[in-house]
Amino acid sequence: MLRTLDLRGRLGAGETLDYRRIVPRAPFDVAAAMAAVAPVCDAVAERGEEALRELSERFDGVVPESFRVPAEALAAAEAQLDPEVRAAFEVAIERRRTVAIAERGQEQVAVDVAPGARVIHKTIPVNRVGLYVPGGLAPLSSSVIHNVVPAQAAGVRSIAVTSPPQAEFGGLPHPNILAVCSILGITEVYAVGGAQAVAMFAYGVPGLCEPVDLVTGPGNIYVVAAKRLLKGRIGIDSEAGPTEIAILADDSAVPAHVAADLVSQAEHDPLAGSVLVTDSTKLADAVQAELAPQVDRTKHQERIRTALTGPQSGIVLVDDLAQGVAVVDAYGAEHLEIHTRDAFDVAQRVTNAGAIFIGSHAPVSLGDYCAGSTHVLPTAGAAAHSSGLTVQSFLRHVHLIDYSAAALADVRHTVETFAAAEDLPAHGAAVTVRFAADND
């Protein structure tokens, strides 16, 4: 079911390999999608709620009676939630909050660089955020938790959530999404999806929604394109594309476990990427043999087969574990599982991954729900330069500079010298004037 890419023996032959170009990758042309979302965003900016109604009808096939979800609908969704599902939500919330509080760290750190010369590093929460929760192929109530909990732990004072309206629920988002919002105390919830939701947050809609400072959360390519288009007007977390999993494994791995984890991520989306990197042909063959019967037992067989047979998925054969680490570093997976001997030590050698799952008892689905880690992660190799959504994503870092006259005098000549060297004499004069005789 998975295509095979054999990299064995090629390094020994003196061939130079750019793994970033070789590894399987989902097609995801955000630049092309921007042309489609630009008029959508412009329409929301210019015509507000009128445009939202037209776009909701066009893209979602339903126009909510109210784009802001009524308080009674949130309360009803929580009241009607299955007790077992609620218990699962509460475990996930508790564990994510425990980790998020630890992520917060110190709010202020003061460093005395010299007598009377102090620099204070202060973290300040973003004032208002808009959190996007997908509602397409799967109603990701877990994304409410993974967006809201770190924002709350960071101290964000104004939090709004949006998710696409669903025709089967009378134009409201999925009831599980509303229920989690209610459990978490989020009262500002919108039934708006797609690029128009990002535009609503970015520009604001008079009488409906105030503009936000930051938009976070995963979405389809049009959501991603809108985030890129409007970045600058708003802050964004990342440009998260289709989900992906890479598994680095040796012959100690359990084939059924590896196959199940590849299948689990393929369940998300036909564009989802499932990649196995291994130095064991025996394991590769065993995983291939496991895939078909496991897929046959799943609910979303067509979607999974499309993902597993697509160009974004495959098995990469390598000479040894060292080459395997190099390949997964080049891939920069959103989710990376390590199924090897000494898995913890191998994980320490990896530098590029959104989240790393160590050993046979830490499947990605654990992280999707209740590991306590974040599941909003960079995709498409962005893990080489970006991080997942944490408390730090909702904090701004500000330096406060507090110098006495004596401390400034100590570095007066340094500033004046720098200013002269850069041909910015007024910079130097701004210090010199403070020591002029008539300013005493």
As annotated, the active-site residues are 334-335
Question: What are the start-end ranges of the H helices in 267-320?
Answer: 281-296, 301-309
- What amino acid occupies position 1? M
Strands (E), 171-284: 189-190, 214-216, 235-236, 244-249, 273-278
Strand order in the sheet with 189-190: 189-190, 158-162, 128-132, 214-216, 235-236
Choose among 230, 226, 217: nearest CA to 377: 217
Q: How far apart are CA 219 and CA 138, in angstroms?
A: 11
For residue 111, which phi and psi values (nearest 5 degrees)?
-125, 120
Residue indicated by tokens 């070789």: 22
Helices 30-47 + 221-230 axis angle, to 10: 70
**Cross-strand partners of 254:** none
> Quick one: tokens of 113?
């660089």
Burial of 352 (0-12, 13-18, 19+ CB in 10 A): middle
Backbone φ/ψ region at 374: left (φ over 0), alpha (ψ -120 to 50), beta = beta
Which residues have a Cβ under 8 Å from the Cβ of 42 and sit 6 or more positions away?
none
Q: Parallel, antiparallel, or unpaired: how do β-strands 108-114 and 189-190 relate?
A: unpaired
Choose among 246, 328, 317, 319: nearest CA to 4: 317
Q: How far apart are CA 131 and CA 234, in angstroms?
A: 12
Measure Cα distances from 344 to 127, 340, 357 in Å: 38, 9, 9
> Quick one: tokens of 383?
């893990």
Residues 217, 109 contacting (CB under 8 angstroms): no
Residues 132, 219 contacting (CB under 8 angstroms): yes
Could you write out the DSSP letters of every residue in 149-168?
HHHHHHT-SEEEEE---BGG
Q: To 10 degrees, the CA torsion angle through 58, 64, 66, 67?
A: -50
Q: For the stretch 112-134, what's the b/e string if a residue is b when 16 or more beta carbons lie within 10 angstroms of its beta carbon?
A: eeeeebbeeeebebbebbbbbbb
